[in-house]
Structure 1
Amino acid sequence: MRSLKLAGLLLIVMLFALAGCGSAQDDGGGSDDSGSSDNGGDDASSSEEVRVTLGTGGTSGTYYPLGVAMTEQIFSNVEGVSQSRAVSTGASVTNAQELAEGKYDAVLIQNDIAYYAANGETLGDFEGNTVDNMAGMTSLYPEDIQVVTTADSDIESLEDLEGKTVAVGDQGSGTEANANQVLGAAGLTYDDLTAEYMGFGDASQGLQNGTLDAAFIVGGAPTSAIQELGASKDVKVLSLSDEVISNLTSEYSYYTEKTISADTYADYGQEEEIKTVAVMAILVVDSELPEDAVYNMTKSMFENKDALEAAHARGSDITLEGATDGMSIDLHPGAARYYEEEGVSVE
Structure 2
Amino acid sequence: MKKSKFMLFLVLTFAVSVFLAACGGESSEKSSGSDGKGEEKPDFMSLVTGGTGGTYYPLGGAFAEIISEETGIQTNAEVSGASAENMNAIKDGNAEIAFSQTDIASYAKDGKLMFEGAPVDNVSAIGTLYPETIQIVTTAKSGIKSVEDLKGKKVSVGAPGSGTNPNAEQILEVYGMTFDDIQKQDLSFDESTAGIQDGTIDAAFVTAGTPTGAVEGLSATEDVVIVPIEQDKIDAIIEKYPYYIQDEVPAGTYKLESAVPTVAVQAMLVVSNDLSTEVVYDITKAIFENLDKVVHDKGKLISAENAVNGVGIEIHPGAQKYYDEKGIKAE
TM-score, normalising length from structure 2? 0.88
* Cα displacement string for residues 141-164 of structure 1 (whole angstroms, at most 9, x for unaligned residues): 000000000122200010000110
Task: Find out whether 1:106 has 2:120 as its counterpart.
Answer: no
* AA aligned opposite 2:67: F
- Name the aligned partner's letter for residue 87 of structure 2: A
Instruction: Tell me which residue corresponds to 2:61.
Output: 68
Identity %: 43
Q: 2:242 matched to which residue of 1?
A: 253
1:344 is matched by which residue type in structure 2? Answer: I
State how far apart, in whole Å, the 2-side matches of 1:41 and 1:82 are. 18
Distance 1:178 1:44, change over 3 A: closer
**Residue among 309, 333, 347 paired with 2:317:** 333
Aligned counterpart, 2:6? none
Which string of whole-angstrom CA distances, capped at 9 and with x for unpartnered residues, describes residues 243-279 of structure 1?
211111111110100122111222xxx2221100000
How do 1:269-308 residues align onto structure 2 when only pairs under 5 Å count? 270-308=256-294
1:85-100 map, 5 Å: 85-100=76-91
The CA deviation at 1:203 is 0.5
Distance in 2 (CA, whole Å) between partners of 1:259 and 1:202 is 24
Deviation at 1:197, TM superposition (A): 0.8
The runs of at least 4 aligned residues of structure 1 exceeding 4 Å deviation read: 38-42
Q: CA offset at residue 42 of structure 1?
A: 5.0
Determine the C-alpha separation between the residues in 2 that align with 1:287 and 1:227. Answer: 40
- The corresponding residue for 1:142 is 131
Counterpart among 207, 210, 228 of residue 199 in structure 2 = 210
Quote the Cα distance in structure 2 between the aligned partners of 1:193 and 1:315.
37
Quote the Cα distance in structure 1 between the aligned partners of 2:215 and 2:229: 17
Shift of 1:39: 6.6
Deviation at 1:78, TM superposition (A): 3.0
List per-residue Cα deviations over 1:72-109 (Å, max 9, x = no partner). 1x100233x42101001000011111111111101000
Match of 2:172 among 177, 183, 200: 183
Out of 288, 293, 303, the residue aligned to residue 319 of structure 1 is 303
Provide the C-alpha distance between the structure 2 equivalents of 1:39 and 1:225, rounded to a whole number of angstroms: 55
Mapped partners of 1:197, 1:44: distance in 2: 50
Superposed, which structure 2 residues align to 1:144-159 within 5 Å?
144-159=133-148
**Is residue 91–residue 121 contact of structure 2 (8 Å, CA) maintained in 1?**
yes
Aligned position for 1:131: 120
Structure-2 residue corresponding to 1:174: 163
Distance in 1, matches of 2:161 and 2:77, equals: 27
Residue 56 of structure 1 corresponds to 49
Aligned counterpart in structure 2 of residue 227 of structure 1, from 212, 216, 232: 216
* Displacement after TM superposition at 1:174 (Å): 1.0
SS in 2 for 1:85: strand
Query: 1: CA distance between counterparts of 2:180 and 2:30?
Result: 61
1:336, 1:346 within 8 Å by CA — same for their partners in 2? Answer: no
**What residue identity is the alignment partner of 2:69?**
N
Amino acid at match of 1:333: P
Equivalent position SS for 1:71: helix
Q: Is the 8 A contact 1:162 1:192 kept in 2?
A: yes
Q: How does 1:32-43 map to 2 (within 5 A)?
A: 43=29
* Matches of 2:273 and 2:323, distance apart in 1: 17
Q: Alpha carbon RMSD of aligned pairs, Å?
A: 1.9
Distance 1:41 1:229 in 2: 60
Amino acid at match of 1:59: T
Contact 1:340/1:346 (<8 A) preserved: no
Count the aligned residue pairs: 304
Unaligned runs of 5+ in 2: 1-20, 34-39
Aligned to 2:151: 162
> Matched residue of 2:252: which SS?
helix
- The 8 Å contact of residues 249 and 256 in structure 1, kept in 2 or not, is answered as yes
Q: 2:301 corresponds to which letter in structure 1?
A: D
The answer on whether the counterparts of 2:46 and 2:95 sit within 8 Å (CA) in structure 1 is: yes
Query: In the alignment, which residue of structure 2 is the partner of 1:243?
Result: 232
